[in-house]
A and B are shown apart, each in its own frame.
Chain A
Amino acid sequence: NAGVMQNPRHLVRRRGQEARLRCSPMKGHSHVYWYRQLPEEGLKFMVYLQKENIIDESGMPKERFSAEFPKEGPSILRIQQVVRGDSAAYFCASSPALGQPSYEQYFGPGTRLTVT
Chain B
Amino acid sequence: AQKVTQAQTEISVVEKEDVTLDCVYETRDTTYYLFWYKQPPSGELVFLIRRNSFDEQNEISGRYSWNFQKSTSSFNFTITASQVVDSAVYFCALSVPQGGSEKLVFGKGTKLTVNP
* 11 CB-based A-B contacts, threshold 8 Å: A42-B107, A43-B93, A43-B106, A55-B99, A55-B101, A58-B103, A59-B103, A95-B102, A104-B50, A105-B102, A107-B44
B104 touches A45 (CB 8 A): yes
Residues B104 and A109 in contact, CB atoms below 8 Å apart:
no
Q: Whole-angstrom distance between the alpha carbons of A82 and B115 in the complex?
A: 39
> Per-residue 0/1 for A57-81: is the Cβ within 8 Å of any B Cβ (1 yes, 0 no)?
0110000000000000000000000
Chain B residues contacting A35 (CB-CB under 8 Å) are 104, 106
A98 surroundings in chain B (CB, below 8 A): 97, 100, 102
Which residue on A lies nearest to B47, using beta carbons?
Answer: A104
* Interface magnitude class on chain A: 20 to 34
CB-contact partner of A110 in B43, B102, B103, B107, under 8 A: B43
- Going nearest first, the 4 A-B pairs with the smallest beta carbon separation are A42-B106, A107-B45, A56-B101, A45-B103
A47 to nearest B CB, angstroms?
A: 9
List A contacts of B108 (CB < 8 A). 41-42
- Which residues in window 79-116 of B have CB below 8 A to A? 91, 93, 97, 99-109
Residue in B99, B101, B105 with the greatest tally of chain A CB atoms within 10 Å: B101
In the complex, how many residues of chain B place their beta carbon closer than 8 angstroms to a beta carbon of chain A?
22
Q: Contact between A44 and B43 (Cβ–Cβ < 8 Å)?
A: no
Residues of B within 8 A of A56 (CB): 99-101, 103
User: In the docked arrangement, what's the CA distance between A89 and B101, Å?
Assistant: 22
Q: Which chain B residues lie closer than 8 Å to A108 at the CB level? A: 44
A113 to chain B, nearest CB (A): 13
* A25–chain B nearest beta-carbon distance, Å: 15
Instruction: Determine how close the nearest CB of chain A comes to the CB of B15; give it in whole angstroms.
Output: 26
Q: From residue A2, how far is it (CB to closest CB) to chain B in Å? A: 14
**Given A89-B43, A98-B97, A42 and B91 touching (CB < 8 A)?**
yes
Q: In the complex, A106→B47 CA distance in Å?
A: 8
B91-A55 in contact (CB<8A): no
